[in-house]
Structure 1
Amino acid sequence: MATSYYVAWWNLENLFDEENAPPERRPDKVKRAIGEDIRGWTPAVRDRKVAQLASVIAQMNHAQGPDLLGVCEVENRFVLDLLVDAVHQLLPDRSYAVVHADTQDARGIDVAFLHETTLLTPGEVFFHVVMRRNATRDIVQVDFTTAAGTKLVAFGNHWPSRSGGQYESAGYRHIAGETLAYFHQRALEVLGPDTPAIAMGDFNDEPFDTSLSIHALATRQHQKVVDADNPYFWNLMWPLAGAPDGSFYYQGVPNQLDQFLVNKNMIGTAARISVQPGSVEILRYPDTFEGKYRKPRMFGGMGKKVDQHGYSDHFPIGLTLTEAD
């Protein structure tokens, strides 16, 4: 019988530790960088944020929870463990573990994966540095092995932001795209050309931007991915790009910054692990959106007003993978 995997991605919007976190959980350089923004972020507010996020994660996959969840904008392993504990309270039959990248981002926000231990076992973990003049996040690569013994490479991405201007900052995301494409190719060289690979993340660009379409080799053309000698990705979010709703809103305008990319080894009935393109969705649950534009209901913090009934400034996205017998 085929095995299904529900995979999700979510930018958690500044899941920070408490204001007075000890030095072993918040280095001095991060403390200086976030400054007064963290004021008022008490343990009670942090724990409320964690509980709100956990309530959404527990609703994923028809209230069974995801089998693999990539997240970003988390400060440290401590808050990740709090999140996993909160999810376990809602889904006691689940067995989640964490793969966490303590990156060099100037604000201390990291990328991580939560995975179901009975289905996916992490092997080697790589933190690929995106070169830039100032500190930024790594691209996290985890070589998972399924319970059936299939290798699945997952790349978690949180590309440089558009702060300072979309076009002024575009070069940084071009570099991130090249970095992803390079290590995708290296994974195929090391693990074998038939290795399935999925990249997910908040790319801070749309599917049609050159950082993705040119530098990351992520195209909307299914057949090009299948036929090309170069290691192309099929960007599964194209059908949602330009739709009335998005995963992130800027000044009321929807953007599809959160995306899934898969390589040719995950396409078609002959694939050992195949993607179900029609399963791709933006996850909007009751109470997680607000206003006439149905934008995400933010939790806030970090200098913004806190809404303790909010969640994140991004919606999660999800899809289903199928592993053949």
Structure 2
Amino acid sequence: MIKHHIYWWNLENLFDVENSPRRSEFLNNHLGAELNGWNATVLNQKIANLTTVISKFNDSAGPDILGVCEVENEFVIELLIDAMNLALNKDYGFVISEGEDKRGIDTALIYDKAKYGPEQNTFSLRIIKRNTTRDLFQVHINTATGNKLICILNHWPSRSGGELTSEPFRIMVAENLSYWIERIYEEQGKDAAILLMGDFNDNPYNKSITEYLLAINNKALVKSNRVRLKYFYNVMHRFLDAQIGTFVFGNEYNMLDQFMISKSILSEKTSLPFKLSSAAIIDYPELTSGSYQKPVKFGRPNSSTFNQNGYSDHLPIKIVLIEKDLTA
């Protein structure tokens, strides 16, 4: 049996330096003064802070797979990976979806090259509303035993403008993702092992998740062979009454960061390779503050909330999958 320790973390605005030559003129103009003071010293401090936390993952062995969002480009991911490799004595690789988000923040997947590969197949789905949304990013992870885990990274439209006003945009993404998942099953078979991860900007009980993406808290319905619809099991439901959230707004806990698994991972069939073992919210003492355990954000130098000792405005989450070597 092989354990896969998989994490997700919204890194909160991991930007390249202000006026970076790697940034398009359009994006420089759009960001405006947002990155004033975001120099190499600040960026390196942000990378160092993130690395101290990531180095504690998996009992200080480091993550096997780490999905992230709010990263600008390959340059900042490479800085993070260099720091991780040095701290953990590992050799991490990455794949990134560089889309056309108007703030220039994307999703990426980091993986231990000693355990996966050598190549990971990737696909991106770009969804258009009035402006291009952040991509849905599909990565086929190939394990050492020859099994395939399909990871889909998500960073859905934000709640800016209000939860209800912005809800139709997240419903639109959920509908597109549901259609895309149908195509995955057609290509990969009905027992495809699919792991959805991301910052969905909705809670597990919001209708974009339950009614459109069909990710629910009913294991029996997910596993049922009598229903036509292909449900996902949302592993984050169990934390809704835990007095902690991956994102805290005011005094309200939110479970915006979630893992969801396909039927095959939840099934008890011995012929299927992946099984759910556990899930967790990572709430190390240094990551939270106050009575509501609010994530300690890093912020930006031009903001009153800038804290060079901070990390992110979201908490990381973890899922452990057990893989059976079906060739043994």
The TM-score normalised by the length of structure 1 is: 0.96
Which of the numbers 67, 74, 97 marks the counterpart of 2:71?
Answer: 74
**1:163–1:169 Cα contact (<8 Å) kept:** yes
Is the CA contact (8 Å cut-off) linking 1:142 and 1:154 kept in structure 2? yes
- In the TM superposition, what is the alpha-carbon distance from 1:134 to its structure 2 partner? 1.1
Question: Paired residue for 1:283?
Answer: 282
> What is the distance in 2 between the residues matched to 1:39 and 1:152?
41
Cα RMSD over matched residues? 1.2
**CA distance, structure 1, for counterparts of residue 161 and residue 276 of structure 2:** 36
Cα distance in 1 for partners of 2:263, 2:324 equals 16
| Residue of structure 2 equivalent to 1:267 | 266
Please say if residues 16 and 75 of structure 1, whose CA atoms lie closer than 8 Å, have aligned partners that are also in contact: yes
Counterpart CA distance in 1 for 2:18 and 2:106 is 18
**1:44 is matched by which residue type in structure 2?**
T
> 2:120, 2:39 → 1: CA distance?
36
Deviation at 1:54, TM superposition (A): 1.0
Residue 184 of structure 1 aligns with an amino acid whose one-letter code is I
Moved over 3 A (4+): none
CA contact (8 A) 2:126 2:132 kept: no
Q: Write the deviation string for residues 20-49 of structure 1: whole angstroms up to 9, x where unpaired.
A: 211xx2111211121101000010000100
- The letter of the residue matching 2:282 is L
Deviation string for 1:96-141 (max 9, x for gaps)? 1011000110000000000111222243211111221112200000
Aligned to 1:317: 317
Q: How does 1:28-107 map to 2 (within 5 A)?
A: 28-92=25-89, 94-107=90-103
Match of 2:112 in 1: 116
Structure 1, unmatched stretches of 5+, are none
- 1:143 aligned to 2:144? no
Residues 37 and 302 in structure 1, CA contact (< 8 A), matched pair in contact too: no
- Measured after TM superposition, the shift of residue 273 of structure 1 is 0.8
Cα separation, 2, equivalents of 1:179 and 1:26: 29
| 1:184 paired residue number | 181
Amino acid at match of 1:274: K
Asked whether the equivalents of residues 139 and 155 of structure 1 are also in contact (C-alpha less than 8 Å), the reply is: yes
Q: How does 1:299-310 map to 2 (within 5 A)?
A: 299-301=298-300, 303-304=302-303, 305-310=305-310
After TM superposition, give the deviation of residue 230 of structure 1 in Å: 2.2
Mapped to 1, the partners of 2:54 and 2:129 lie a distance apart of 33
User: 2:37, 2:302 within 8 Å by CA — same for their partners in 1?
Assistant: no
- Find the residue that maps to 1:26 and give its secondary structure: coil
SS at match of 1:312: coil
Aligned twin of 1:293: 292
Whole-angstrom CA distance in 1 between matches of 2:184 and 2:141: 12
Amino acid at match of 2:7: A
User: Would the aligned equivalents of 2:19 and 2:28 in 1 still touch at CA under 8 Å?
Assistant: no
Secondary structure of the residue that 1:120 maps to in structure 2?
A: coil
**In 2, Cα distance between equivalents of 1:49 and 1:244:** 28
**Match of 1:167, SS?**
helix
Q: Secondary structure at the match of 1:168?
A: helix
The letter of the residue matching 1:95 is D
For 2:301 and 2:2, how far apart are their aligned partners in 1?
41
Per the TM alignment, residue 303 of structure 1 is displaced from its structure 2 partner at its CA by 4.1
- Matched residue SS, 2:80: helix
Partner deviation per Cα, 1:33-69 (whole Å, 9 max, x = no partner): 2110100001000010011111111111111111111
CA distance, structure 1, for counterparts of residue 285 and residue 91 of structure 2: 26
1:10 equivalent in structure 2: 9
Number of residue-to-residue matches in the alignment: 319
Q: Given the superposition, is the C-alpha separation of residues 302 and 265 from structure 1 closer, same or farther in structure 2, using an over 3 Å criterion? A: farther
**Aligned letter for 2:244?**
D
Q: Check the 8 A contact 2:115/2:143 in 1, yes or no.
A: yes
**In structure 2, C-alpha distance between the alignment counterparts of 1:317 and 1:303, rounded to whole Å:** 29
